[in-house]
């Protein structure tokens, strides 16, 4: 009996075609994509092409990957400015002119994306090409084994990246944010592979459980993986280690957002009002505190408890 076809890339592509067609009919397509969470299927699709590029030298996979990544990166920039605008608007330290400055920066990104969408005809040819690719089927033992190797390699790369900064972090974007990205892909694979990855209950009691597994991890919809009974061979993740990874990613996200927002505030003040009172020393102390907090958390994960070694069964 022929294996059931598992082609998650096609399902995410279909989702994106729907949202792009609706965006095409709107007055501000880029803004429509932001408000209708186009980033989620873009993340999912990007994760699949990351795997496909490791499995095959077919240049089409790289073309698809670049499309997903460029769109997602741009929407991410808009989200970053939107969050900053909301936060700074509630802070009396920033005046209306400064908020307007951020809004103009955000709108410039949206305008560029709108131009690109029109020029590329909303990338519909790319997504339609994916939708016609009937031969792509991940549900094969040999392919699933290679996917597992790919995930193991990415987790090892994240470990080696942390080892380069054994004494601590000095840069929020290039170190903390980058390492969080590497770990986040592991979590995204678990959801994007349409049931190939399964969380397995482990009876072992770990010393880090109470600290890193909370009700949030247990109830998060992002930690509820799709169930697929037609998979030829599963990849098993330790459920407890997966929850711990989820906690690490979430906490690093909070730290990263605080750090990058602080840096954006510095740049905003310097650009719009250099005479404005700006306690650089206090800002630097806060940044160092956040970098130290991130490093301690990741030291716990990679070194003290070596939780990453328990994830893939």
**What pLDDT is recorded for position 85?**
92
**What pLDDT is recorded for position 19?**
95
247 burial (CB, 10 Å; 0-12 / 13-18 / 19+) is buried
**What pLDDT is recorded for position 252?**
97
**What pLDDT is recorded for position 1?**
42
- Integer CA distances (angstroms), 34 to 48, 76, 106, in order: 22, 9, 12
> Is 142 in contact with 263 (CB distance < 8 Å)?
no
> Both tokens of residue 39?
């980033």
**What pLDDT is recorded for position 276?**
63
Q: DSSP strand E in the chain: where?
A: 197-200, 235-238
Sign of CA dihedral 302, 308, 309, 310: positive
153-207 confidence digits (pLDDT tens): 999 999 999 999 999 999 999 999 999 999 999 999 999 999 999 999 999 999 9
Euclidean distance between CA atoms 91 and 95, whole angstroms = 9
> Both tokens of residue 47?
């994760």
Residue-by-residue pLDDT tens, the chain, 313 positions: 457 888 999 999 999 999 999 999 999 999 999 999 999 999 999 999 999 999 988 898 999 999 999 999 999 999 999 999 999 888 887 889 889 999 999 999 999 999 999 999 999 888 888 876 667 889 899 999 999 999 999 999 999 999 999 999 999 999 999 999 999 999 999 999 999 999 999 999 999 999 999 999 999 998 999 999 989 899 999 999 999 999 999 999 999 999 888 888 888 877 777 666 555 555 677 889 999 999 999 999 999 999 999 999 9
């Amino acid at each position: 009996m022929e294996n059931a076809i598992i082609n998650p890339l096609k399902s995410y592509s279909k989702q994106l075609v729907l949202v792009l067609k609706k965006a095409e009919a709107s007055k501000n397509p880029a803004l429509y994509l932001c408000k209708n969470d186009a980033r989620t299927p873009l993340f999912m699709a990007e994760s699949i092409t990351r795997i496909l590029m490791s499995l095959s030298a077919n240049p089409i996979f790289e073309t698809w990957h670049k499309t997903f990544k460029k769109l997602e990166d741009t929407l991410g920039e808009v989200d970053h400015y939107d969050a900053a605008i909301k936060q700074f608007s509630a802070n009396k330290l920033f005046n209306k002119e400064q908020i307007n400055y951020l809004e103009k920066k955000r709108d410039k990104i949206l305008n560029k994306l709108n131009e690109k969408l029109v020029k590329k005809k909303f990338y519909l040819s790319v997504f339609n090409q994916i939708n016609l690719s009937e031969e792509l089927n991940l549900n094969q033992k040999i392919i699933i084994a290679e996917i597992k190797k790919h995930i193991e390699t990415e987790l090892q790369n994240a470990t080696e990246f942390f080892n380069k900064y054994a004494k601590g972090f000095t840069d929020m974007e290039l170190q903390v944010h980058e390492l969080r990205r590497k770990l986040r892909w592991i979590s995204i694979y678990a959801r994007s592979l349409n049931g190939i990855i399964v969380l397995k209950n482990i009876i072992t009691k770990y010393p880090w459980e109470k600290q890193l597994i909370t009700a949030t991890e247990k109830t998060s919809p992002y930690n509820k993986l799709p169930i697929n009974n037609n998979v030829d061979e599963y990849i098993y993740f330790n459920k407890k280690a997966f929850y711990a990874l989820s906690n690490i990613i979430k906490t690093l996200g909070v730290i990263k957002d605080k750090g990058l927002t602080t840096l954006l505030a510095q740049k905003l003040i310097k650009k719009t009002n250099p005479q404005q009172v700006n306690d650089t020393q206090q800002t630097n102390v806060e940044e160092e505190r956040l970098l130290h907090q991130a490093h301690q958390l990741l030291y716990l994960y990679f070194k003290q408890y070596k939780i990453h070694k328990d994830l893939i069964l």
